[in-house]
Amino acid sequence: MSSTPSFNAEEHQKMLRSYFNGNGFSRWASIYGNDKLSTVRSTVRQGHAVMMDQAFAWLESLNLPKGATILDAGCGTGLFSIRLAKNGYRVKSVDIASQMVEKSRQEAEKNGVAHMIDFEVNTIEEVQGHYDAVVCFDVLIHYPAEGFVHAFENLASLTKSPIIFTYAPYNRILAFQHWLGGYFPKKERRTTIQMIRDNQMDEAMHKSGMSIKKRQKISFGFYHTMLMQAERG
């Protein structure tokens, strides 16, 4: 794989932090919440819910003991963290945006599970610890290949075995949709989605010592992602 010389990890983190503490926070808090949405955003909400249901089913199939520790890397407003906590898992909820972490904390308190969750403002490249499993949803899609490989390698190093995550595999139709999305009204646009080619995913698996165990394409309206489960060895 050819590297991306123009990729600057520090600048990339700065951009993501700025977006998700600004317009991105209001946009995604609305999608993850109960606000009335446009047709485009409604399909994103529904697709995201389908993805989380499948991811949770995979996680439960691992038969981890209750009280097992799970890192929710890029927790957003805490939807999955709260679901995990309600089902008896100890959770580390990490997000690059302080507003997201605070919203996640507030929602956890409303749901009576804040005592089961440790909140932290941090990046997925720099978070540390040791966990029974790691989940990372709709976060790696914001990383170009070089940043993706580095971030995934760190996340994989934190888990005893499984990591369940989403990414955007490269395909021409999706690339066209993203190009077309640039002509939507500004308030309807997504952040830039970084598509990863097969050889780049292979590199990420090789460097992290992981191998893919499960995959499922999730497509719902304007929500498209690939859900993956990888394990060591």
Q: Does the pLDDT value for residue 173 go beyond 60?
A: no
Q: Is residue 105 part of a domain?
A: yes
Side chain identity, residue 155: L
Q: Is residue 4 part of a domain?
A: no
Q: Which domain CATH number covers 152?
A: 3.40.50.150
Q: Is residue 3 part of a domain?
A: no
* Residue 45 neighbours by CB under 8 Å, 6+ apart: 31, 32, 37
For residue 64, what are the domain limits? 9-232
Q: What is the pLDDT of residue 96?
A: 97
Averaged pLDDT for residues 107-121:
98
Q: Is residue 77 part of a domain?
A: yes
Share the mean pLDDT of the chain: 88
Q: Is residue 2 part of a domain?
A: no
CB 216 within 8 A of CB 58: no
Q: What is the pLDDT of residue 11?
A: 93
Q: Does the pLDDT value for residue 1 go beyond 60?
A: no
Give the residue with greater pLDDT, 194 vs 60.
60
Q: Is residue 38 part of a domain?
A: yes
pTM given for the model: 0.88
Dist CA 78 CA 91 (whole Å): 10
Dist CA 229 CA 196 (whole Å): 16
Q: Is residue 92 part of a domain?
A: yes
> What tokens does 174 get?
């999706």
Number of domains the chain contains: 1
